[in-house]
Amino acid sequence: MLTESQILVWLRENELARLEELWILADAVRRAHVGDEVHLRGLVEISNHCIRQCGYCGLRSGNRTLGRYRMTEAEVMDCVAEALRFGYGTVVMQSGEDYGIQTEWLANIIRRIKTETPLAVTLSLGERPIEDLRAWREAGADRYLLRFETSNRELYRLIHPDARGQVSDRVALLRQLRALGYETGSGVMIGIPGQTYASLAHDIDMFRTLDLDMIGVGPYIEHPETPLGRGEWRCPDPEGEPVPNTELMTYKVVALTRIVCPEANIPSTTALATLNRVQGRELGLARGANVIMPNLTPPQYRSQYEIYPAKACIQETSRAFHTDMLARIRAMGREPGRGPGGRIHGSK
Ligand code: 5AD
């Protein structure tokens, strides 16, 4: 077992020969606990409206340059049908924190997916009130994703201002989600301005203490239409070297996450692929990840779901991506996952 201080040592390691040992260990742990299957989760970005003012995210309500959309039920169900055609086991519905997504409207869609298809349903809709989360769970939703972004409270509050007069406590919300019976997922961004190595090591240790079922991590990518991207908000001084928002640092975090949470489902993320379009996804899969989230959002909306600029998924069609990804998975000696691909407890 890795202690928090050992995690910290690995985060500071820059010798590629030593890091090779980390990649090999992470890959062995991945294989032993979750096997060679790569689960494919079809991502549907159902709305880019958001009431929040997160300093890093292009969907923040203060960004007036962004055209906004909210998909219709028929549009969502078309994406669901595509997930089925491609043989995916899960559909992930994601959005900004959008109260235009009404509780009953979405509950009805969840019920339809659960009765008309064998798909698992994952939600990623921000910090909704507990009644909403309960209604969607009762409608059949299986999983919920909510990144805590950073375990440094001061930094979190700065980059993620409170809304609706409520202090945001995502760790508490994750516990409530679990109590409702959701599989719960979280994660962080890597290289947020002001992030320290020590706090990133603590983030990874928290993945373990929270016993997360799913963990998504990716590099922070500057968005010019945000206060952080424009350098307008002063972040706490990271005391010494800041964490770089690089590809290499992302691989370290993916690998360490796998080692501390052997059973978790861990995606090789789009943000990582944005830094290395040629090999990012595969290197993530080779260094601990076991999930890919192909984007199924209709083309006319895709460029508007601009969390950060130059997202890797903007150009290609869903089908082209799908065909290419299957070939890449097989070329790695891995296989596409079958079934919903939930967490399997006590794998070893
Ligand atoms: N760079 C990288 N990741 C980002 N996210 C939001 N904005 C950015 C950005 N500028 C991530 C957050 C959020 C997830 C949906 O996208 O971690 O939880």
Residue 223 in contact with ligand 1 by CB distance below 6 A:
yes
Answer yes or no: is the C-beta of 271 below 6 A from any ligand 1 atom: yes
pLDDT of the residue at 316:
85
Question: 220 CA to middle of ligand 1, Å?
Answer: 7
Average pLDDT over the chain, rounded to an integer? 96
Alpha-carbon distance 197 to 259, whole Å? 18
> What atom in ligand 1 is closest to the CA of residue 188?
17
CA of 333 to the centre of ligand 1 (A): 31
For atom 14 of ligand 1, the residue with the nearest CA is: 147
Distance (Å) of CA 211 to CA 163, 190, 228:
27, 20, 31
User: Does ligand 1 have an atom closer than 6 angstroms to the CB of 221?
Assistant: yes
The string of pLDDT tens digits covering residues 277-308 is: 999 999 999 999 999 999 999 999 999 999 99
Whether pLDDT at 245 is above 80: yes
pLDDT at 15: 98
Which pLDDT belongs to residue 348? 52
Residue nearest to atom 8 of ligand 1 (CA): 57
Give tens-digit pLDDT for 91-123. Answer: 999 999 999 999 999 999 999 999 999 999 999
CATH of domain 4-331: 3.20.20.70
For the chain, percent of residues with pLDDT exceeding 90: 92
Q: Provide the pLDDT for residue 312.
A: 82
Nearest Cα residue to atom 18 of ligand 1 = 147
Q: For the ranges 48-62, 63-77, 208-222, 301-315, which has the lowest average pLDDT? A: 301-315
- Residue 125: band (very low, low, confident or very high) from pLDDT cuts 50, 70, 90: very high
Nearest to 14 by CA among 257, 261, 197: 197
**CA pair distance 302, 143, nearest whole angstrom:** 23
**Whether the CB of 149 sits within 6 Å of ligand 1:** yes
Q: What pLDDT score was predicted for residue 141?
A: 98
Give 208's pLDDT tier (boundaries 50, 70, 90): very high
pLDDT at 238 (0 to 100): 66
Whole-number pLDDT of residue 178:
98
Contacts of 148 (CB under 8 A, 6+ apart): 156, 170, 171, 174, 186, 187, 188, 203, 206
What is residue 315's predicted lDDT score, i.e. its pLDDT? 78
Q: Does the CB atom of residue 56 touch ligand 1 within 6 A?
A: yes
CA–centroid distance, 217 to ligand 1, in Å, is 9
In this structure, of 51-60, 153-162, 210-219, the range with the lowest mean pLDDT score is: 153-162
